[in-house]
């Protein structure tokens, strides 16, 4: 008897969304289901771990949609239905609290927990826990950097104030001057605002995640965001800009600055290699002079599904999938920053990604997004209240944020 590695396809049947699975032959044995979005070059990592398992189990990937909302929808539906095939789930770093609180993922304890946290940088480590318990293992991490053009800005700005002044000067000289920023009404805007707020020393939520923490520092962050949105540095289309649009503004020669994830380095080499001579990077600009920005982390974590029949094997497979060797391979080929501190000293990685030192430095001060099982609701209301950026009124918008965030935490009212 033979089992077959499965590829899941979504099909619309009338008003229902169904998943149809097609399979190809593999040997008999234990099959671990891995549910995550498809990453370039990940098939080689999967093959390595299956070879390392030496027939004791086979990891089969079930591909989720690329967009985060689509991923979460499928994961929640399957886990709520106690799907036993979900041995390993790939989670956005913002979902750990929600899935742990719902009982959909299993905790890591003892030697497994120690192996999971060994050599982790503080940024990715903070995404792996809920209520002081490890529930997931970071597969990769991410922080945004400031990207700029050396032909327009020989010395990069150290602060937001300096960057806005530089943008004004470039505009007055008739030169490219835009600060490419993810200002659309979606998660990217929440990431940007969270970075500004945390850099002022504030937070969207209380430490225990149960109450809104809106205060004067929130007003400061809103004032800076509104100042940017009404400056020469803001593109007229800033309210529609996602990561791809911000990336394109720099690649097309329209922007002088870009606040975006490290993937733009590899993308520039492909999309506009002539720009590489003047394309540079530095730390995310501070909001308080002399105080490093506290940049919001991104990335992918692996967790063990609560209804897995093989939780111990699933943990073993996860430790393989995110091993140092495999993280190095994915960094070299897919550009995803590693979570292991020791990999940042690897000469081969440093040669391929010269911004690794900056990424590591920022990960030492990085912050997760607000830790709460209701993060999805909080994110939705924050992006709604902040949009459009040009209509922010710092004091009034802070009061609205306070009210709407508390409603989201207490499941009051309707989400926008």
Q: What is the phi-psi region of residue 334: left when phi exceeds 0, alpha when psi lies from -120 to 50, beta otherwise?
A: alpha
Please say if the pLDDT value at position 191 is more than 80: yes
CA distances from 180 to 84, 165, 167, 224, 261 (A): 44, 15, 11, 15, 12
Q: What is the pLDDT of residue 256?
A: 98
Q: What band does 1 get if pLDDT is binned at 50, 70 and 90?
A: very low
The pTM for the full model equals: 0.88
Please tell me the least confidently modeled range out of 13-27, 78-92, 112-126. Answer: 13-27
Local structure of residue 308 (DSSP, 8 states):
-
Cβ atoms of 315 and 322 closer than 8 Å = no
Residue 197 is predicted with a pLDDT of 98
Examine the pLDDT at 410 and tell me if it is beyond 80.
yes
Q: What is the pLDDT confidence band of residue 305, given thresholds at 50, 70 and 90?
A: very high
Mean per-residue pLDDT, 356-368: 94
pLDDT of residue 331: 93
β-bridge mates for residue 147, sequence order: 258, 281
Cα separation, 261 vs 28, in Å, equals 42
Higher pLDDT, 233 or 9: 233
| Chain mean pLDDT for the chain | 92
Domains of the chain plus CATH, in order, are 6-142+298-365 (3.40.190.10), 145-296+374-409 (3.40.190.10)
Q: What percent of the chain has pLDDT over 90?
A: 88
Across the range 232-257, mean pLDDT stands at: 96
Distance of CA 398 to the CA centre of its chain: 25
pLDDT of residue 415: 63
pLDDT at 85: 97
At 314 the pLDDT is 98
pLDDT digits (tens, 9 = 90+) for 6-52: 544 444 444 344 444 444 444 458 999 999 999 989 999 999 999 99
Answer yes or no: is pLDDT of 372 > 60: yes
What is the reported pLDDT for 14?
A: 40
Mean pLDDT, to the nearest integer, of 162-175? 98
Given this model, what pLDDT does residue 240 score? 95
Is 257's pLDDT higher than 80? Answer: yes
pLDDT of residue 28: 59
Query: Residue 2: its pLDDT value, please?
Result: 41
Mean predicted confidence (pLDDT) in 59-70 = 91
Q: Averaged over 91-103, what is the pLDDT?
A: 96
Q: In what order do the strands lie in the sheet with 255-260?
A: 178-180, 255-260, 145-149, 279-282
pLDDT value, residue 411: 83
């Amino acid at each position: 008897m033979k089992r077959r590695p499965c590829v899941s396809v979504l099909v619309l049947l009338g008003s229902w969304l169904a998943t149809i699975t097609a399979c190809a032959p593999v040997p008999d044995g234990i099959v671990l289901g891995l549910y995550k979005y498809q990453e370039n070059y990940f098939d080689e990592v999967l093959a390595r771990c299956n070879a390392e398992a030496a027939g004791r189990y086979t990891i089969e990937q079930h591909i989720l949609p690329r967009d985060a909302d689509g991923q979460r929808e499928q994961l929640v539906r399957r886990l709520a239905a106690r799907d036993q095939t979900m041995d390993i789930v790939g989670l956005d770093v913002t979902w750990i609290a929600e899935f742990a609180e719902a009982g959909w993922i299993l905790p890591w304890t003892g030697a497994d927990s120690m192996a999971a946290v060994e050599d982790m940088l503080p940024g990715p480590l903070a995404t792996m826990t809920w209520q002081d318990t490890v529930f997931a293992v970071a597969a990769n991490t991410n922080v945004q950097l400031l990207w700029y053009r050396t032909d327009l800005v020989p010395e990069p700005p150290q602060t937001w104030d300096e960057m806005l002044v530089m943008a004004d000067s470039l505009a007055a000289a008739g030169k490219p001057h835009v600060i490419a920023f993810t200002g659309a009404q979606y998660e990217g805007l929440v990431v940007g605002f969270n970075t500004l707020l945390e850099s002022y020393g504030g937070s969207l939520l209380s430490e225990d995640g149960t109450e809104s923490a809106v205060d004067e520092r929130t007003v400061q962050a809103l004032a800076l965001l509104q100042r940017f949105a009404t400056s020469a540095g803001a593109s007229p289309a800033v309210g529609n800009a996602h990561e791809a649009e911000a990336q394109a503004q720099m690649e097309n020669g329209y922007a002088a600055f870009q606040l975006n994830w490290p993937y733009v380095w590899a993308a520039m080499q492909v999309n506009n290699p002539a720009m590489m001579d003047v394309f540079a990077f530095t730390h995310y600009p501070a909001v308080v002079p002399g105080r490093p920005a506290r940049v919001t982390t991104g990335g992918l974590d692996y967790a063990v599904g609560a209804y897995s029949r093989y939780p111990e094997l699933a943990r073993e497979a996860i430790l393989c999938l995110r091993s140092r060797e495999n993280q190095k391979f994915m960094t070299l080929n897919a550009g995803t920053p590693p979570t292991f501190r020791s990999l940042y000293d690897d000469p081969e990685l440093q040669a391929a990604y010269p911004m690794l030192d900056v990424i590591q430095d920022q990960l030492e001060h990085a912050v997760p997004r607000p830790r709460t099982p209701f993060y999805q609701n909080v994110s939705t209301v924050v992006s709604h209240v902040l949009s459009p950026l040009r209509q922010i009124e710092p004091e009034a918008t802070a009061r609205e944020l306070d009210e709407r965030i508390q409603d989201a935490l207490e499941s009051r009212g309707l989400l926008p």
